[in-house]
Structure 1
Amino acid sequence: MRKLLALISLAVLVVLAGCGDEATTLSENEITVGVTAGPHEQILEKVKELAAEEDLTVNIEVFTEYVIPNTALDEGELDLNSYQHQPFLDNAKSDRGYEIEAVATTVNFPMGIYSTEIADVSQLQEGDKVALPNDPTNGARALILFEAAGLITLKEGVGAEAMVLDIEENPLNLDFIELEASQIPRQLEEVAAAAINTNFAIEHGFVPTEDAIYIEPSDSPWVNLIVAREENSDDPVIEKFIRIYQSDEVKQFIEDTFEGSVVASW
């Protein structure tokens, strides 16, 4: 009887181990990718179309905020995600211990300052309310943008870790309001101006190169990434997906669709 129980226990362990291996092995002809709504989703739809021609099925999961796609990837609900830049990824890994990493670059979305009240940042008045994203990396990016626009001066050397507390000079005594990035376009009328990520600006109907009252240069260093779990980062199906994504056809689609508001990195 004891021998029988031992054999049953061993069989269960073997089955469980096999299930664990299967859960982390990617299919050769199917992949699930998480993206945020807007341009990332539009681009991935084009990638999906091209991938189908090479017998690769791309399943698209669309998210409306920035935290869950990394959690879903780390937990194995996604094979890849495509929506974030390196400072955001680094911060997410540091905060939450994710075992994920960048495997390729995708596109750059120049962040802009938008307003329903004024046509130029020089028209901001004393004490005006100005909104920016409340997550650390996009908040820092917005502050760097405000500094480039001549509105503030940040403490020397803070760079991509800048916070509102790092504002050293604020000549107009602007009141900086930190909001969830995806909600800022909907609350734009409640502030004098706001820094908005391009994907959310486009989703709200803005054309960044036309509607922003100040915008990052097209060669901004905040390039977006394709991110995978560390254990799968060199999987052949991921390499195939990256090759299709970074193709001339996708680059042409980006240029034709976004007319300079989104810039291919390759």
Structure 2
Amino acid sequence: MRVLTAVAASLAATLALSACGSAEPDDSSAPAGSASAGEVTSLVVGASPVPHAKILEFVRDNLAEEAGLEIEIREFDDYVLPNEALASEELDANYFQHQPYLESQIEEKGYEFTAGEGVHIEPLKVFSDKHDSIDAIPDGATIVITNDVSNQYRGLKLLEKAGLLTDVPDGATVLTLTDAENPKGLKFEETQPEVVVQQLSDPAVDAAVINANFILTAGLDPSEAIESEEVEGNPYANMLVWRTGDDNPGVQKLEELLHSQEVADFIAETWPSGDVIPGNA
């Protein structure tokens, strides 16, 4: 009985010391927006290689530690897998898409996703290996364009701006264009967005409408584009996306960091020619 009493007393003393040792430190003096000492939230974020993963690398290497974030970046070369991976909980968030594309994916596949504010805009551009200007595109020319609906409509509006198409209606696709809307009789070759840039060198192709992230990945010079999308009023800002109802606090911390002045400055300094523009036009 004495042995049991002694053991009980010893255990009580140990628990008391343990409780004292586990008391949370006073972090009242921690800088605003920084994490309490020892608090680290891990995130797995999917992204296109350029510029999205580059921007996330800047956040990871310069801002994440103070915010209590540990970021793992997984790169994707297409526009389909990042949303599938997010839905299957392989990712905590992804960063590669704009609102119109997200809305089309939610409608088509029933994803329950929530989006943050736009972080940056990448103007869509038209390139040609055969023609020096958009005005040189002949009647009946072959144009390569993405097969994803939201970006295809975006590309058609850019061709309208360039004077190659007329009065393109909302939601138009290459299959719904009328002769009046396509007065030059352009022929369209649809393909996956990541493949469009590869078709540019095809002798049968007159021009290609290319998403900016694939322009940068392929090493093309954006200044050599023969037509470029306007930025003012542009609804295609890229944003962070996560599962609706996800309570991972790191997602909101990352959303805040992506809209910091440090990130805006990094984007402006890394792509000074306007290939990637910080903010939400």
1:178 paired residue among 182, 190, 201: 190
Write the mapping of 1:1-266 to structure 2, written as runs, cut at 5 A: 29-49=41-61, 50-155=63-168, 158-159=169-170, 161-168=171-178, 169-190=181-202, 191-208=205-222, 210-219=223-232, 220-232=234-246, 235-259=248-272, 260-265=274-279
In the alignment, is the contact (CA less than 8 A) between 1:93 and 1:99 conserved in 2?
Answer: yes
For 2:118 and 2:140, the matched residues in 1 are separated by: 39
Q: Normalised by the size of structure 1, how large is the TM-score?
A: 0.84
In the alignment, is the contact (CA less than 8 A) between 1:154 and 1:167 conserved in 2?
Answer: no
Post-superposition offset of 1:140: 0.8
For 2:177 and 2:118, the matched residues in 1 are separated by: 31
For 2:53 and 2:128, the matched residues in 1 are separated by: 26
Q: Normalised by the size of structure 2, how large is the TM-score?
A: 0.80
Query: Partner of 1:250: helix, strand, or coil?
Result: helix
From the CA coordinates, give the structure whose radius of gyration is larger: 2
Post-superposition offset of 1:244: 1.3
Deviations 1:135-166 (A, max 9, x none): 111111101111111101245xx32x221133
Deviates more, 1:117-126 or 1:161-170: 161-170
Counting matched residue pairs gives 235
Query: Partner of 2:275: helix, strand, or coil?
Result: coil
In the alignment, is the contact (CA less than 8 A) between 2:40 and 2:68 conserved in 1?
Answer: no
For 2:115 and 2:271, the matched residues in 1 are separated by: 24
User: Identity over the aligned pairs, expressed in percent?
Assistant: 36
Question: 4+ residue runs of structure 1 moved beyond 4 angstroms?
Answer: none
Deviations 1:194-242 (A, max 9, x none): 100000001111232x12110011222211111010011x643222111
Deviations 1:116-149 (A, max 9, x none): 1112110011221111100111111101111111
More helix by share: 1
Post-superposition offset of 1:192: 0.7
